[in-house]
């Protein structure tokens, strides 16, 4: 059922091919995230989060880092979700930590990393879980980086971090009108609202996603990847170059381990940097984050994450390896 | 039709567009060129295609509902409550707050006042209006919009650009994607930068059957002794369709870098014949990735050297070690998760005299004698060609 003869391969065709393949990979998860976001918007009582989360913001940020274990989402789905959660009263620091850690600290990603690095074979009992060094390093470093960023932004207000349109939608907003906002609407009305929000969020997120994927697919097909091989051997350059690759390729966090594992010439620390940075920051995310955060915040996040992951990757990898080695 | 309804309909149309593209590629089978057959990604395309249609249809069906209860209502209310609204302003910090950040909350402002911050949309003000509204009569808070979607809050130009960004690339790609890469992309993705002796997907393409796979898996374990028994791999083998014929081989494997040829225990011609189907002419039928990985396995290499092999692949000119022009390079594309991460696995093929010319990317069936040469610090597998002919693309043009 192919409507017309396929065009001849060409440079443009290469970009379109890469574009479509990433779109097919990501769009389903954007839909999942935005439908979820729509239902959060319509059905989640605004005060629920306040009641569930600890009052202490440091504590709640530490907890938010583990939320991915309960609500496993990849990075395409998490952006619309946190946007809605923030408007439902989730502190921005928690939202940021959840946004950064959920695409890493989640069971699906743990399984795919175990599989890609063939670490399933090494873990036959609970006692040997330390043998899965790459998976453990990835999840733990992802958590730590996400929490550091979350704690760092505690000092800022929502208005300093978020786009004005998002701030304006925050329920309550600390201005005392929150009690008036819980709508006494029936189920049908809420459903309509959920679906309308889902549609709007899908298009919003989809637009930024599209921009990011366009850029990614140009890099992906028009730039000679051998440029990277030259720096693979160097310890100084290997980590930044793999982080650069993660940034440009914009892979889904559920599958990037399969790309990292075969990179035989790179050190484990460099692969770790690739696997931690990629789900937190890449070309498509740069644009998707722009739908929620102010531009200055997104740029700071970009630089901060590069530095943080780049500096921590080597010591973290050796730390986890030495911890694993100490086990009897 | 008011602009809010129009935007609503455009939004629905955009959902249908994305859903239709997903469903078309899934239903036509063209998805096979983009995503791997196993794993969750392909089914998710179908699910998302249907999901987008459902969300679109639901929103289409509730357009009137939404309009009656939200927008049309709002319009009346906005004008009626013009004064009330202003009055709210006096004591409503929420509104002041919003204004401080340059966001237009004023419903009536949006339409009536020139000093509006370019937020002439009808939804942009809904929110603010709703707040005021709740104060006045909470029961009427129907389908209130917290949304400030890109299509609602931008100016007319912004909206058009947003619609264009959402619609144009996906349409263009869906209509004009050739479902395969050009020579340019294949070269950029590393055609001439091969790392024979890499072991990363070796288990998938090993000629050793399950026994060989386990040996590879164990080799990849760290130097630390592990009592783990190799689990059976869920990975399917390549075109060779390996059955578990050979017994697991010795697990005592030497450690070392990835680039050198290693020993994985005994392998005989009988093992090869048990694993690999033969053509009518008696050639072993192998895919390029399988030939590629023989370079890293000493025993397999020893057995297969000098054997007649046959493979189907695409061809491009050879650019390395080809001063006398006797070589071409054949490759297959391997995909891990989606076509964007496709990598060419390539080997040179050697002719006794100047190599024939083929149009770039032509599919060829090559038969010849397997040999290995030390070049550029690695063992390069190559076929000394006896016959080469053009052929059509196989069904599994992309290997997953």
Helix (H) or strand (E) holding B288: helix B288-294
End-to-end CA distance of chain A, in Å?
A: 60
Task: Flag if B170 and A210 touch (Cβ within 8 Å).
Answer: yes
Contacts of A184 in chain B (CB under 8 A): 138-139, 141
The residue with greater pLDDT, B34 or A176, is B34
The pLDDT-based confidence of A327 (bands split at 50, 70, 90) is low
Helix (H) or strand (E) holding A220: helix A187-222
- Whether B12 has a pLDDT exceeding 90, the answer reads yes
Segment B184-211 shows an average pLDDT of: 77
The pLDDT-based confidence of B212 (bands split at 50, 70, 90) is very low
Give yes or no for a contact between A270 and A313, defined as CB atoms under 8 angstroms apart. yes
The residue with greater pLDDT, A320 or B104, is A320
Query: Among B147, B151, B258, which would you mutate to test the A interface (most chain A Cβ atoms within 10 Å of its Cβ)?
Result: B147
Q: Which residue of B has its CA nearest to A229?
A: B193
CB pairs < 8 Å spanning A and B: 306
| Predicted local distance difference test score (pLDDT) of residue B143 | 38
Closest-CA residue to A200 (of B70, B46, B23, B45): B70
The pLDDT-based confidence of A230 (bands split at 50, 70, 90) is low
The pLDDT-based confidence of B238 (bands split at 50, 70, 90) is very low
Task: Flag if A7 and B176 touch (Cβ within 8 Å).
Answer: yes
Q: Is any Cβ of chain B less than 8 angstroms from the Cβ of A267?
A: no
- Whether B210 has a pLDDT exceeding 70, the answer reads no
| Predicted local distance difference test score (pLDDT) of residue A305 | 96
Query: Among A108, A180, A318, which would you mutate to test the B interface (most chain B Cβ atoms within 10 Å of its Cβ)?
Result: A180
Distances (CA, A) of B103 to B83, B88, B98: 20, 17, 6
Distances (CA, A) of A136 to A145, B200, B276: 14, 20, 39
Query: Among B100, B188, B260, which would you mutate to test the A interface (most chain A Cβ atoms within 10 Å of its Cβ)?
Result: B188
Segment B372-398 shows an average pLDDT of: 90
Distances (CA, A) of A322 to A316, B48, B116, B272: 10, 44, 61, 42
| Predicted local distance difference test score (pLDDT) of residue B387 | 93
| Predicted local distance difference test score (pLDDT) of residue B320 | 85
- Whether A229 has a pLDDT exceeding 90, the answer reads no
Q: What is the residue-averaged pLDDT of chain B? A: 71
| Predicted local distance difference test score (pLDDT) of residue A3 | 57
- Whether B69 has a pLDDT exceeding 50, the answer reads no
- Whether B285 has a pLDDT exceeding 70, the answer reads yes
> Pick from B47, B178, B190: which is nearest to A225 by CB?
B190
| Predicted local distance difference test score (pLDDT) of residue A321 | 86
- Whether B13 has a pLDDT exceeding 90, the answer reads yes
**Site of tokens 């046959």:** B310
| Predicted local distance difference test score (pLDDT) of residue B163 | 93
Task: Flag if A24 and B25 touch (Cβ within 8 Å).
Answer: yes
The pLDDT-based confidence of B66 (bands split at 50, 70, 90) is low
Q: Is any Cβ of chain B less than 8 angstroms from the Cβ of A192?
A: yes
Distances (CA, A) of B373 to B69, B305, B344, B348, B379: 77, 11, 20, 11, 6
Q: Is any Cβ of chain B less than 8 angstroms from the Cβ of A227?
A: no
Most confident of A83-92, A102-111, A134-143, B106-115: A134-143
Closest-CA residue to A177 (of B143, B127, B102): B127
Give yes or no for a contact between B254 and B237, defined as CB atoms under 8 angstroms apart. no
CB contacts under 8 A, A 157-176 vs B, are 159, 164-169, 171, 173, 175-176
Of all residues in chain B, the percent with pLDDT exceeding 90 is 32
- Whether B314 has a pLDDT exceeding 90, the answer reads yes
| Predicted local distance difference test score (pLDDT) of residue B153 | 66
φ/ψ (deg, to 5) at B384: -85, 105
Q: Is any Cβ of chain A less than 8 angstroms from the Cβ of B182?
A: yes
Give yes or no for a contact between B319 and B307, defined as CB atoms under 8 angstroms apart. no
> Pick from A21, A87, A164: which is nearest to B101 by CB?
A164
User: Tell me: the pLDDT tens digits for A255-278?
Assistant: 788 777 766 667 889 899 999 999
Q: Which of A78-92, A230-244, B330-344 has the lowest mean pLDDT?
A: A230-244
The residue with greater pLDDT, B58 or B254, is B58
Q: What are the b/e assignments for A1-25, b being 16+ CB within 10 Å? A: eeeeeeeebebbbbbbbbbbbbbbb
End-to-end CA distance of chain B, in Å?
A: 50
Contacts of B121 in chain A (CB under 8 A): none
Q: Is any Cβ of chain B less than 8 angstroms from the Cβ of A45?
A: no
Task: Flag if B149 and A195 touch (Cβ within 8 Å).
Answer: no
CB contacts under 8 A, B 299-328 vs A, are none
Exposure of B241 by Cβ count < 10 A (0-12 exposed, 13-18 middle, 19+ buried)?
A: exposed
Give yes or no for a contact between A71 and A29, defined as CB atoms under 8 angstroms apart. no
B36: left (phi over 0), alpha (psi -120 to 50) or beta: beta
Of all residues in chain B, the percent with pLDDT exceeding 70 is 64
The pLDDT-based confidence of B21 (bands split at 50, 70, 90) is very high
Q: Which residue of B has its CA nearest to A200?
A: B149
Contacts of B258 in chain A (CB under 8 A): 264-265
Segment A57-65 shows an average pLDDT of: 89
The pLDDT-based confidence of B239 (bands split at 50, 70, 90) is very low
Q: Which residue of A has its CA nearest to B29?
A: A1
User: Tell me: the pLDDT tens digits for A129-150?
Assistant: 667 888 999 999 999 999 999 9
The pLDDT-based confidence of B105 (bands split at 50, 70, 90) is very low
The residue with greater pLDDT, B286 or B226, is B286
Closest-CA residue to B267 (of B242, B286, B292, B250): B250
- Whether B250 has a pLDDT exceeding 70, the answer reads no
The pLDDT-based confidence of A323 (bands split at 50, 70, 90) is confident
DSSP, collapsed to helix, strand or coil, labels residue B271 as: helix
The residue with greater pLDDT, A199 or B108, is A199
Task: Flag if A21 and B94 touch (Cβ within 8 Å).
Answer: no
| B162: closest CA of chain A, how far (Å) | 7
Task: Flag if B176 and A14 touch (Cβ within 8 Å).
Answer: no
- Whether B94 has a pLDDT exceeding 80, the answer reads no
Q: Which of A245-254, A296-305, B76-85, B380-389 has the lowest mean pLDDT?
A: B76-85
- Whether A1 has a pLDDT exceeding 60, the answer reads no
């Amino acid at each position: 059922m192919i409507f017309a003869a396929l065009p001849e391969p060409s440079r443009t065709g290469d970009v379109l091919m890469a574009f479509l393949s990433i779109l097919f990979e990501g769009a389903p998860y954007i839909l999942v995230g935005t439908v979820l976001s729509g239902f959060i918007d319509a059905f989640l009582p605004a005060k629920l989060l306040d009641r569930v989360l600890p009052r202490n913001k440091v504590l709640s940020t530490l907890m938010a880092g583990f939320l991915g274990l309960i609500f496993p989402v990849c990075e395409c789905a998490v952006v619309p979700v946190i946007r809605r959660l923030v408007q439902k009263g989730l502190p921005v620091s928690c939202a940021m930590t959840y946004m950064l850690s959920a695409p890493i600290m989640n069971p699906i990603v743990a399984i795919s990393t175990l599989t890609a690095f063939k670490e399933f074979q090494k873990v036959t009992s609970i006692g040997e879980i330390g043998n899965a060094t790459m998976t453990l390093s990835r999840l733990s470093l992802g958590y730590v980086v996400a929490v550091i960023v979350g704690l760092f932004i505690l000092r800022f207000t929502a208005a300093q971090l978020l786009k004005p349109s998002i701030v304006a939608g925050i329920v309550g907003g600390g201005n005392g009108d929150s009690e008036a906002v819980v709508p006494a609407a029936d189920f049908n009305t809420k459903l309509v609202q959920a679906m309308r929000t889902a549609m709007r969020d899908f298009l919003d997120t989809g637009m930024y996603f599209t921009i990011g994927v366009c850029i990614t697919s140009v890099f992906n097909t028009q730039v000679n990847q051998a440029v990277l091989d030259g720096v693979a051997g160097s310890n100084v350059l290997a980590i930044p170059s793999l982080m650069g690759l993660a940034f440009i390729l914009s892979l889904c966090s559920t599958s990037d381990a399969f790309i990292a594992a075969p990179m035989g010439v790179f050190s484990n620390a460099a692969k770790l940097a690739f696997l931690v940075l990629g789900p937190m920051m890449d070309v498509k995310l740069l644009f998707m984050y722009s739908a929620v955060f102010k531009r200055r915040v997104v740029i700071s996040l970009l630089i901060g994450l590069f530095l943080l992951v780049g500096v921590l990757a080597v010591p973290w990898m050796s730390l986890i390896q030495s911890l694993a080695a100490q086990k009897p | 039709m008011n602009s809010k309804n129009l935007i609503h309909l455009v939004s629905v149309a955009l959902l249908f567009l994305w859903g239709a593209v997903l469903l078309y590629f899934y239903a036509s089978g063209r998805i096979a060129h983009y995503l791997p057959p196993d794993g969750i990604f392909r089914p998710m395309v179908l699910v998302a295609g249907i999901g987008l249609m459902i969300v679109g249809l639901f929103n289409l069906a509730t357009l009137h509902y939404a309009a009656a209860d939200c927008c049309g209502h709002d319009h009346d209310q906005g004008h009626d409550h013009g004064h009330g609204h202003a009055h709210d302003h006096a004591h409503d910090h929420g509104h002041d707050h919003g204004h401080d950040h340059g966001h237009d909350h004023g419903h009536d402002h949006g339409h009536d006042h020139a000093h509006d911050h370019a937020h002439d949309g009808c939804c942009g003000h809904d929110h603010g209006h709703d707040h005021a509204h709740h104060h006045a009569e909470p029961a009427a808070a129907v389908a209130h919009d917290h949304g400030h979607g890109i299509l609602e809050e931008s100016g007319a130009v912004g909206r058009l650009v947003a619609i264009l960004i959402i619609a144009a690339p996906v349409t263009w790609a869906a209509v004009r994607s050739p479902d395969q890469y050009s020579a340019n992309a294949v070269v950029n993705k590393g055609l001439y930068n091969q790392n024979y002796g890499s072991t990363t997907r070796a288990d998938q393409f090993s000629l050793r059957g399950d026994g060989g796979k386990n040996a590879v898996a164990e080799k990849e374990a760290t130097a630390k002794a592990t009592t783990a028994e190799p689990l059976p791999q869920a990975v399917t083998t390549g075109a060779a369709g390996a059955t578990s014929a050979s017994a697991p081989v010795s697990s005592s494997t030497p450690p070392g870098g990835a680039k050198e040829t290693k020993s994985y225990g005994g392998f005989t011609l009988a093992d090869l014949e048990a694993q690999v189907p033969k053509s009518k002419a008696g050639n072993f039928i192998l895919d390029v990735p399988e030939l590629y990985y023989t370079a890293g396995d000493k025993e397999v290499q020893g057995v297969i050297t000098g054997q007649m092999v046959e493979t189907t692949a695409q061809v491009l000119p050879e650019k390395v070690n080809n001063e006398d022009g006797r070589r071409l390079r054949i490759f297959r594309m391997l995909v891990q998760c989606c076509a964007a991460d496709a990598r060419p696995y390539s080997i040179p093929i050697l002719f006794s005299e100047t190599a024939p010319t083929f149009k770039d990317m032509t599919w060829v069936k090559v038969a010849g004698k397997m040999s290995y040469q030390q070049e550029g610090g690695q063992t390069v597998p190559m076929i000394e060609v006896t016959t080469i002919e053009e052929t059509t693309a196989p069904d599994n043009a992309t290997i997953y």
